């Protein structure tokens, strides 16, 4: 089996946030943001990071609508996940990310971070929230 870590991904058109679990799978931490408008270049960079960090799983945020339907953003995430799967042998799991970006905004509202830096932090924080939710769910299901 590959490494012990899990990579969290919050895919976006302009920026894609990344988070990484600790080896025990207990804690997620943001590790940066990919700034690429290119679907292929973003996928290649996610795979590069996954291999460099020796991850066993990529958890990709799946932005399902609040009513449970699949909209255009979720379809893009599904296409991105399929593309990742075609390019590497690391398993990719779509994980419901409803409200992760909204929660990241709420958390950052108490700070003075503004502008472009805030957008990057939001994406990285969203990836961390997605990954932490996945890790917590896995631990609860034991």
How confident is the model over 61-76, as pLDDT tens digits?
A: 998 877 888 889 999 9
Q: Which pLDDT score is estimated for 123? A: 79
Task: Determine the structural domain holding residue 90 and report its residue range.
Answer: 5-141
- Asked which of 4-8, 60-64, 103-107, 130-134 is least confident by mean pLDDT, the reply is 103-107
Mean pLDDT of 23-50: 92
Q: Phi, psi at residue 124, to the nearest 5°?
A: -65, -45
- Rounded to two decimals, what is the model's pTM? 0.86
CATH number of the structural domain spanning residue 15: 3.30.420.140
Q: Domains in the chain: how many in total?
A: 1
Helices 39-52 & 72-87 angle (0-180, nearest 10)? 50
φ/ψ of residue 96, rounded to 5 = -50, 120
Distance separating alpha carbons of residues 36 and 43, to the nearest angstrom = 10
- Backbone phi, then psi, for 45, in 5-degree steps? -70, -40
Question: What's the rounded Cα separation, in Å, for the pair 127 and 97?
Answer: 9
- Mean predicted confidence (pLDDT) in 122-139: 88
- Alpha-carbon gap, residue 131 to 136, rounded angstroms: 9
C-alpha to C-alpha distances, 23 to 4, 5, 6, 28, 97, nearest whole angstrom: 5, 5, 8, 10, 22
């Amino acid at each position: 089996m590959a490494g012990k870590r899990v990579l969290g991904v919050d895919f976006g058109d302009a920026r894609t946030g990344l988070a990484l679990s600790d080896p025990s799978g207990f804690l997620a931490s943001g590790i940066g943001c990919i700034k690429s408008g290119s679907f292929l270049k973003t996928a290649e960079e996610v795979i590069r990071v996954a291999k460099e960090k020796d991850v066993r799983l990529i958890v990709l945020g799946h932005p399902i609508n609040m009513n449970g339907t699949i909209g255009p953003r979720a379809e893009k995430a599904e296409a991105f996940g399929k593309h990742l799967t075609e390019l590497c042998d690391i398993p990719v799991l779509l994980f419901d990310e409803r409200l992760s970006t909204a929660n990241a905004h709420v958390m950052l509202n108490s700070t003075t971070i503004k502008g472009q830096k805030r957008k990057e932090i939001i994406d990285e924080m969203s990836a961390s929230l997605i990954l932490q939710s996945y890790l917590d769910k896995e631990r609860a299901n034991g």
